[in-house]
Structure 1
């Protein structure tokens, strides 16, 4: 059983999470708090939990600021109505990112993702979030939507723990898959090249290269890792 806490200033969302936790035999609720300040006090008093369900936008101390203050945070599942914090949240190594309103099925999926991280003997859940639809595009699952993305529109892909950030000129898509898995899917396209342990780059969108940094259209920048530089520059000779 995993112990858990809720920090969310939205009472309806707290009650929903409390109900979902009650329905989940593998979870035990330790505390349900209404703001980040109370959450900070909870942890500074020495309390520990396995999983924290954390809102982002709260008065006085936001969820993101709380995460930055905690020296040894538990596994964190973000619960928010804002998608634009996803990249920053995954940079802080959160386990999952739930967009409000979410149903019990999506909640359960997030909990199942936390369990293997807490108990290595439990098998890792697999979630099919990238679906092929042809030779020029693919569908990716973003929250509850399936979004079509054309390969040619992808500027780069960035690894975010067990997720990737697929960046196009107009959008960023946080998708539950690994960079290695997506690299395999894109291997048939010679313009997609691994240039860093955390980046897969579409060379079609390079405007210039300076100081081992690829400058892309629209003001995007991708670092070229030292161990990837030789193969990368050789590939440019064929473009």
Structure 2
């Protein structure tokens, strides 16, 4: 365990199904980087825990619950928010999860291996917030006309004009290409997408975001405005990004 992860992460579980909740509790107890801080069957009761500043680095959250759904709860969480991992029986909530910027999305029944992958994303996120990865030179342009690439989305290969892409956001084992008009959900990780992109003006600005520098309209403090969207620039990337902007 690295110095950053020397102390186990406080984990909170919210699931109204007792069997599912106990299964998650056992997974937490098996994992040497986690400690079970609290476990709730009711989201309203759990919200009171968060407002009382109960310890929580990681939240394992069911979506479909009475009184208050998991998606509604995420919107109500006070800052600083824990890393949220949604746990559900339906894959259809993935786009809603993207909108709420949750860290991962698990479909029940959750195997211990998949659970460990989600926790690894939490620890990677915490490490990336402190130590940025080394910058890599961009690969040569391999697209057919200098701005297009084919990506697989919804079971088909789609030609994307990346000049229209504002930014790319990580979502569990998917990435989302955001344009002015639509969003394309593509299988793979943000790292995979970053390595494939042949465009020098697509730059990593956050552990969860790559932006098209040609589409940045305004930068205020650590926030970028791209069309109708705002994207954060995390501190480790900020100085380098400002230098790149000034060099345009």
User: Which residue among 158, 168, 181 is the counterpart of 1:159?
Assistant: 168
- Equivalent residue, structure 2, for 1:234: none
Q: CA separation of 1:45/1:223 partners in 2, compared to 1, >3 Å: closer, same or farther?
A: closer
Confirm whether residue 107 of structure 1 aligns to residue 103 of structure 2: no
Q: Which residue of 1 aligns with 2:239?
A: none
Tell me: higher relative CO, structure 1 or 2? Use CA pairs within 8 A at least 6 residues apart. 2
Q: 4+ residue runs of structure 1 moved beyond 6 angstroms?
A: 121-124, 135-140, 153-158
Matched, 1:76 2:76: no
**Pair 1:17-2:24 in alignment:** yes
Q: 1:26 aligns with which of 28, 33, 44?
A: 33
Residue 53 of structure 2: which of 46, 50, 55 is its match?
Answer: 46
C-alpha distance in structure 2 between counterparts of 1:172 and 1:84, whole Å: 15
1:175 counterpart (165, 187, 192): 187
Which runs of structure 2 are paired with 1:133-148 in the superposition (5 Å)?
A: none
Question: Structure 1 residues 138, 111: CA separation in 2 closer, same or farther (over 3 Å shift)?
Answer: same
Distance verdict in 2 for CA 1:182–1:33, change over 3 Å: same
Following the alignment from structure 2 to structure 1, what is the Cα–Cα distance between the partners of residues 30 and 101? Answer: 27
Count the aligned residue pairs.
184
Whether the aligned pair in 2 keeps the contact of 1:56 and 1:62 (CA below 8 Å) is: yes
Q: 1:174 to 1:74 in 2, by over 3 A?
A: farther
Give the drift of 1:71. 2.3
Structure 2 unaligned regions, length at least 5: 1-7, 134-143, 203-209, 213-225, 230-248
- Aligned position for 1:231: none
Report if aligned partners of 1:165, 1:174 keep a CA contact under 8 Å in 2: yes
CA RMSD of aligned residues (A): 4.1
| Aligned twin of 2:97 | 89
TM-score, normalised by the number of residues in structure 1: 0.60
Q: Which runs of no fewer than 5 residues in structure 1 stay unpaired?
A: 125-134, 141-146, 200-221, 226-239
2:69 maps to 1:62: yes
| TM value normalised by structure 2 | 0.58
